[in-house]
Amino acid sequence: MRNQATEASREIAALQALVSKTVETNRQTLLHKRIEESVEAWKNEGTAINVIDTYDDLSDQEKADLLDKVSLRVKGRPSKKNKYRATGS
Q: CA-CA distance, 42 to 45, in Å (whole number)?
A: 5
Please tell me the pTM assigned to this model. Answer: 0.77
Sheet strands (E) in 15-81: none
What residues have CB less than 8 Å from 79, skipping those under 6 apart? 67, 68, 71
Q: What is the pLDDT of residues 32-88, one digit of tens each?
A: 999 999 999 999 999 999 999 999 999 999 999 999 999 999 999 988 889 999 764
